[in-house]
């Protein structure tokens, strides 16, 4: 198995891994698990002023999956409803040189991400404090 | 954390043991000696000098298993020995006597040789191990049929280290006059082994698992009664026609010395390595939950197979990469990523199999290495568990 | 008379060439290197370090014959490569397409593999060489049938040194879409060899005939179209499943370097060794009558096969014992005492075959050694002729 | 092939190999050749006073055959008609450690020897000068 430098670095440090501390602004979560595909991901994001301001992940999977999750969490801040997701399976695969037979895992990640972004959009369109 | 020399802790002796330094020196002397370069089959003086080296080594290899030198056929390794034994015996059996008894937990050399026989129309009985990974003499006895040509079982399982009771199984086979082939690649040189006690008809092993070189193995062939064998290779008459090809003097010399060293050290090494293995197992307990795969005893001393439930195998290997060399339960002999059939045969789930590691110790393993390995494993497992979504440890097992 | 070091003059390169000193050094370094002890199939870092050595060597071995590394399957030697090619191809052929074309002058590896096919019911056409020991493309073309699965011929004959015209025979096979297997054990590294020119489908060779170690060989397998092959051994998936078994890193490394050295030196060595051979032939003329067995050209540079009519072979060998190492026509690969079937196939009587010697030269042979060998031979032959009853030279030929 | 020290010594020196020089006393010869068996032997002996006083051989064959011929030639002097031959195949095989598969060659030697001794006996019983 070949791993890029970037995968090695992200795997070794796992930035944004864990939970967001309770604090200012609502937190939403999105999760997807397909154990047969070898991936289980969970993202959390804090919203403020209609945008994601902080994000975290937890993941079970291969090194590429964990690195992709860390990268995703790093790219989430700044996202706001109505804009395209900051990453998708294709862009992650390219950036991290993920081998073709692992693309299924990135689709699980995409599912978890979309679930997170859907919740975030719902929260924004809901009446504040609702 | 690495060893002093900056190299990973090597706990993959079951895949290949490092060459014994004395064996390396003998081989280097042999490789460089102008008087030992000839073909050992040549009748001239340099040929006879090489043949004398081969003869001495053959006696040493035979002595490891309590056999005489004339019972040893040199091969390229355990894979070839196992294939020669399994395919050779069954192909030489009379028509109508082609049934084979083997187990689902054999090494792939035995497994695939038996599958090849199955493809050729031979009936094969595939025994299932108990939860500890063992095949019993009663199972073997019950599987024997009037048309059974061969029972082929391993002595020590290469993933779990559990030992087969050769004496009891040998007796069950002898009662029915069925030759017993034993794949002893993982036990030869690691536990005492005497073909006279178990009455095995054929026994396979190789040098590189016991401190000798890669590329050489042996098949023991009982003299009386001598099992009929059809060769796999045809050519010059070397090895009594059973295994033609120029004999590799330096490899054979190295194999011989490695066997002699093993014979001399086994009494001291076996308990030492066994104690280190239990020290490692104890040292891993802070990573609980951690499970032991396969029965703890009887076993070869150096193999510990553990499952860290909730851990993804590839990430565990990657976390250890460059620090600890071991074999994953998902990649027993290659990078295939398939879960180990041995672990699933003893009842582990696919995910638990992938969360398993075979840690195998040997002659140069130290207590410090074992402690370092335990610390590395605990750190990696805890880190990966913390990274996993809540509930993963429970669900993924 | 011995060489300076008191060792016999070694003229048995065709049986086994001495290990190239640089190859011995590389192998010793590899045997001793703690970082290269792992199983090259293991996915951890030490395993990958060993795999990198294997990969580099594979490229060097492939380059010797103008192939890509992915076309090389490592085996234990030429015997196994030839068997894998011959048995593997024919056993994989569709039912009803099992005819084989080969020659009576093949090495025993090819001969006996074809005999095994014959025993299994395959029709085999056995071509006869001309008086020089050669098989022509016309003979091959005439022997091809609609059901021919394989043509298997050697490149250089191991006893005579005569070369087969691979390009012409390759063309005859290609026209009829029949795969051609070539046993190049005696020519690889000794004459330029390029699989792209001859279009061979499979080609066998080994390390120890070209300055590499004993115990390792290679089978070249053309990529497009790729001949179907049924393995001889089953087990772990090494070598694309065609040849399982732990790869022997130091042997493969040594094989690779030996090939690289051969590639670099062939332009210089081929004419040098050829000239030494002709010097030897000229130097033997005082022992007249002395005959040359096989055509002088085209040939590999290092083989001279001579008959001393009236001489008894065993006594000639014994007279030379300890002074000159060569192979007798009565003991080509063993001490069997049977006359060489190659020599009888080119029309020599049994007694003439027994009175024949293969003198084979190589990279370390010097003019002084050749002259010493000629003097030794002349003295021994003249002494034995003087001892024989009157009329023996004339009658025994 | 194993050779004893004695075979090596006899082969290397080949004592009594050649022909007897013409001189005092009659010379008889005995020869036997079986090429398929791998042996061709010829013995000569000079007679004086009813006994062999000198002997020589020529031989084509393996080292054991040559050594056995040399030993035979050395043992011939002293033999006289009516006494048993000085050597036979069995005694030679034992003395020179000849392998069993080569006994046929020693039988060829025995043939040549017996032919020689027969001639010698004939010569003795013939009228002198006849
Ligand atoms: C039990 C067993 N049998 C056979 C083999 C095959 O050995 P080799 O790869 O040396 O041919 C091995 C090693 O992997 C083994 O552990
Ligand atoms: C032409 C040829 N083919 C095959 C072989 C077999 O080689 P090995 O004994 O290394 O397997 C030899 C060597 O004797 C040979 O000369």
Cis preceding-peptide flag for C276 (omega within 30 of 0): no
Q: What is the pLDDT of residue B335?
A: 42
Q: Is the pLDDT of residue B1 over 90?
A: no
- The alpha-carbon radius of gyration of chain A (Å, integer) is 14
Cis preceding-peptide flag for C298 (omega within 30 of 0): yes
Pick from C318, C335, C386: which is nearest to D63 by CB?
C318
Q: What is the pLDDT of residue D128?
A: 56
pLDDT digits (tens, 9 = 90+) for C303-354: 999 999 999 989 998 999 999 999 987 654 434 467 889 999 999 999 899 9
Give me the residue label for tokens 């996993």: B388
Exposed / middle / buried, residue C126 (Cβ in 10 Å: 0-12, 13-18, 19+): middle
Are B109 and B115 in contact by the 8 Å Cβ rule? The answer is no
Q: Which helix (DSSP H) or strand (DSSP E) does residue A32 occupy?
A: strand A27-34
- B396 vs A35: CB contact, 8 Å cut-off? yes
Q: Which helix (DSSP H) or strand (DSSP E) does residue A39 occupy?
A: strand A39-48
**pLDDT band for position D23 (cuts 50, 70, 90):** confident
Q: Which helix (DSSP H) or strand (DSSP E) does residue A52 occupy?
A: strand A51-61
Query: What is the dihedral sign for C-alpha B39, B41, B43, B49?
Result: positive
Q: What is the pLDDT of residue B334?
A: 39
Q: Is the pLDDT of residue C242 over 80?
A: yes
Q: What is the pLDDT of residue B333?
A: 41
- B115 vs C234: CB contact, 8 Å cut-off? yes
D5-125 in CATH: which number? 3.90.1010.10
Q: What is the pLDDT of residue C392?
A: 87
Residue B297: CB atoms within 10 A of its CB come to: 9
Among C78, C186, C300, say which to mutate for ligand 2: greatest number of ligand atoms within 8 Å of CB: C78
ipTM surpassing 0.90: yes
* CA A66 – CA A44 distance, rounded (Å): 15
pLDDT digits (tens, 9 = 90+) for B231-260: 999 999 999 999 999 999 999 999 999 999
Query: Buried b / exposed e across B181-215, counting CB within 10 Å, b at 16+?
Result: bbbbbbbbbbbebebeebbbbbbbbbbbbbbbbbb
Query: Does B394 or B87 have the greater pLDDT score?
Result: B87
Q: Is B259 a catalytic residue?
A: no
Q: What is the pLDDT of residue D88?
A: 96
Q: What is the rounded average pLDDT for all residues in chain C?
A: 95
Set out the domains of chain B in order of their start, with CATH numbers: 9-18+267-396 (3.90.1150.10), 21-260 (3.40.640.10)
Q: Does D40 touch chain C (CB under 8 A)?
A: yes
* CA A25 – CA A48 distance, rounded (Å): 6
B208 Cα to the center of ligand 1, angstroms: 9
Q: Read off the pLDDT of each residue in A20-36 and give the average, rounded to a whole number.
A: 93
C268 DSSP assignment = H
| Cβ of B298 less than 6 Å from ligand 2 | no
pLDDT digits (tens, 9 = 90+) for A49-85: 989 999 999 999 999 999 999 999 999 999 999 999 9
Which pTM was predicted? 0.95
Chain C residues 282-341 with CB within 8 Å of chain D: 310, 312, 314-315, 318-319, 335
Q: What is the pLDDT of residue D126?
A: 67
Where exactly are the structural domains of chain A?
5-125
Rama region for A49: left / alpha / beta (φ>0; ψ in -120 to 50; rest): left
Q: In what order do the strands lie in the sheet with B327-328?
A: B291-292, B303-307, B356-360, B327-328
pLDDT digits (tens, 9 = 90+) for D37-72: 899 999 999 999 989 999 999 999 999 999 999 999
| Cβ of C254 less than 6 Å from ligand 2 | no
Q: Is the pLDDT of residue B308 over 50?
A: yes
Q: How far is CA B65 from CA B150, B205, B211, C166, C288, in A?
A: 21, 10, 16, 48, 56
* CA A68 – CA C393 distance, rounded (Å): 87
Residue C114: CB atoms within 10 A of its CB come to: 26
Q: Which helix (DSSP H) or strand (DSSP E) does residue D59 occupy?
A: strand D51-61
* CA C163 – CA C157 distance, rounded (Å): 7
- Which is the closest atom of ligand 1 to the Cα of B333? 14
Q: What is the rounded average pLDDT for all residues in chain B?
A: 95
Helices D103-125 and D63-75 pack at an angle, to 10 degrees, of: 30
**pLDDT band for position B332 (cuts 50, 70, 90):** very low
* CA C245 – CA C239 distance, rounded (Å): 9
pLDDT digits (tens, 9 = 90+) for B10-68: 999 999 999 999 999 999 999 999 999 999 999 899 999 999 999 999 999 999 999 99
Structure tokens at C63: 């380059």
Determine how β-strand B148-154 pairs with β-strand B124-127: unpaired
Q: How far is CA C298 from CA C129, C268, D116, in A?
A: 14, 18, 52
pLDDT digits (tens, 9 = 90+) for C104-123: 999 999 999 999 999 999 99
Q: What is the pLDDT of residue B330?
A: 63
* CA C192 – CA C261 distance, rounded (Å): 13
**pLDDT band for position C381 (cuts 50, 70, 90):** very high
Number of residues assigned to chain A: 130
- D31 vs C389: CB contact, 8 Å cut-off? yes
Q: What is the pLDDT of residue B336?
A: 47
* CA B221 – CA B204 distance, rounded (Å): 9
B366 DSSP assignment = -
* 3-class DSSP assignment, residue C158: coil
Residue D49: CB atoms within 10 A of its CB come to: 8
Structure tokens at C282: 């000229």
Largest CA distance in chain C: 74
* 3-class DSSP assignment, residue B86: helix
Which stretches of B266-341 are assigned E, i.e. beta strand?
291-292, 303-307, 324-325, 327-328
Structure tokens at B38: 């000839």
CA C345 remoteness from chain centre: 18
Q: What is the pLDDT of residue C337?
A: 61
Q: Which helix (DSSP H) or strand (DSSP E) does residue B368 occupy?
A: helix B367-387
Structure tokens at B150: 């061969």
* CA C168 – CA C199 distance, rounded (Å): 10
Q: Cα angle at C298 between C294 and C299, to 5 degrees?
A: 70
Closest CA to B60 of B22, B33, B5, B86: B22
SS3 content of chain A, % helix, strand, coil (to 5): 45, 25, 30
Chain C residues in contact with B322 by the CB 8 A cut-off are: 45
What positions of C carry a catalytic annotation? 332
Are B23 and B189 in contact by the 8 Å Cβ rule? The answer is no
Closest CA to B103 of B164, B146, B14, B145: B164
* CA C61 – CA C55 distance, rounded (Å): 10
Q: What is the pLDDT of residue A127?
A: 60
Q: Cα angle at B189 between C50 and C231, to 5 degrees?
A: 55
pLDDT digits (tens, 9 = 90+) for D80-98: 999 999 999 999 999 999 9
In chain C, the percentage of residues whose pLDDT exceeds 90 is 91
Q: Is the pLDDT of residue C7 over 90?
A: no
In chain B, the percentage of residues whose pLDDT exceeds 90 is 91
Q: Is the pLDDT of residue B182 over 50?
A: yes
**pLDDT band for position C75 (cuts 50, 70, 90):** very high
Cis preceding-peptide flag for C312 (omega within 30 of 0): no
Q: What is the pLDDT of residue A126?
A: 67
**pLDDT band for position D127 (cuts 50, 70, 90):** low
Chain D residues in contact with C396 by the CB 8 A cut-off are: 35, 40, 60
Structure tokens at B292: 């032991």
Q: What is the pLDDT of residue C11?
A: 97
Structure tokens at B188: 């030869």
C78 Cα to the center of ligand 2, angstroms: 5
| Cβ of C79 less than 6 Å from ligand 2 | yes
Q: What is the pLDDT of residue C332?
A: 41
Q: How far is CA D8 from CA B390, C232, D3, D107, in A?
A: 86, 46, 7, 21
Closest CA to A66 of C209, B295, B319, B382: B319
B1 to chain A nearest CA, in Å?
14
Q: Is the pLDDT of residue C3 over 80?
A: no
Cis preceding-peptide flag for B289 (omega within 30 of 0): yes
Q: Read off the pLDDT of each residue in C231-260 and give the average, rounded to a whole number.
A: 97
Closest CA to C106 of C17, C185, C20: C185
* CA D89 – CA B240 distance, rounded (Å): 31
């Amino acid at each position: 198995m070949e791993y890029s430098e970037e995968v090695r670095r992200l795997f070794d440090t796992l930035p944004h891994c864990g939970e967001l501390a309770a604090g200012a602004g609502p937190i939403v979560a999105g999760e997807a698990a397909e154990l047969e595909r070898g991936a289980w991901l969970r993202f959390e994001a804090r919203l403020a002023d209609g945008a994601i301001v902080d994000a975290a992940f937890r993941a079970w999977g291969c090194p590429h999956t964990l690195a992709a999750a860390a990268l995703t969490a790093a790219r989430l801040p700044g996202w706001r409803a109505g804009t395209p997701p900051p990453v998708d399976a294709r862009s992650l695969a390219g950036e991290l040189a993920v081998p073709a037979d692992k693309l299924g895992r990135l689709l699980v990640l995409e599912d978890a991400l979309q679930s997170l972004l859907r919740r975030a959009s719902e929260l924004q369109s809901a009446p504040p404090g609702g | 954390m690495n060893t002093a020399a900056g190299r990973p802790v090597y706990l993959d002796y079951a895949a290949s043991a490092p060459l014994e330094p004395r064996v390396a020196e003998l081989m280097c002397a042999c490789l460089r000696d102008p008087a030992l370069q000839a073909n050992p089959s040549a009748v001239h003086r340099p040929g006879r000098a090489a043949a004398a080296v081969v003869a001495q080594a053959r006696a040493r290899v035979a002595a490891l298993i309590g056999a005489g030198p004339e019972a040893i056929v040199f091969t390229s390794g355990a894979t070839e020995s196992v294939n020669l034994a399994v395919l050779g015996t069954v192909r030489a059996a009379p028509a109508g006597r082609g049934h084979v008894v083997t187990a689902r937990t054999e090494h792939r050399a035995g497994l695939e040789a038996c599958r090849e026989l199955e493809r050729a129309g031979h009936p094969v009985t595939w025994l299932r191990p108990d939860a500890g990974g063992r095949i019993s003499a009663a199972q073997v006895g019950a599987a024997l049929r009037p048309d059974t040509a061969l029972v082929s079982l391993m002595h020590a399982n290469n993933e779990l280290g559990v030992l087969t009771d050769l004496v009891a199984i040998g007796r069950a086979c002898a009662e029915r006059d069925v030759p017993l082939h034993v794949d002893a690649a993982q036990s030869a040189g690691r536990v005492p082994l005497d073909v006279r006690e178990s009455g095995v008809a054929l026994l396979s092993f190789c040098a590189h698992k016991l401190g000798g070189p890669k590329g050489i193995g042996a098949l023991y062939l009982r003299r009386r009664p001598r099992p009929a064998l059809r060769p796999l290779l045809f050519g010059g008459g070397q090895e009594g026609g059973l295994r033609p090809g120029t004999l590799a003097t330096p490899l054979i010399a190295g194999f011989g010395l490695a066997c002699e060293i093993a014979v001399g050290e086994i009494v001291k090494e076996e308990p030492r390595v066994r104690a280190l293995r239990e020290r490692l197992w104890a040292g891993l307990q802070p990573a609980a939950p951690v499970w032991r795969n396969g029965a703890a005893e009887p076993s070869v001393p150096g193999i510990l197979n553990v499952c860290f439930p909730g851990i993804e195998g590839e990430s565990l290997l990657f976390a250890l990469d460059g620090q600890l060399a071991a074999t994953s339960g998902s990649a027993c002999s290659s990078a295939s990523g398939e879960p180990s059939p041995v672990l699933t045969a003893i009842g582990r789930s696919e995910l638990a199999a992938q969360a398993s590691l075979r840690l195998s110790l040997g002659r140069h393993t130290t207590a410090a290495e074992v402690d370092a390995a335990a610390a590395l494993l605990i750190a990696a497992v805890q880190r990966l568990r913390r990274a996993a979504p809540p509930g993963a440890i429970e669900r993924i097992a």
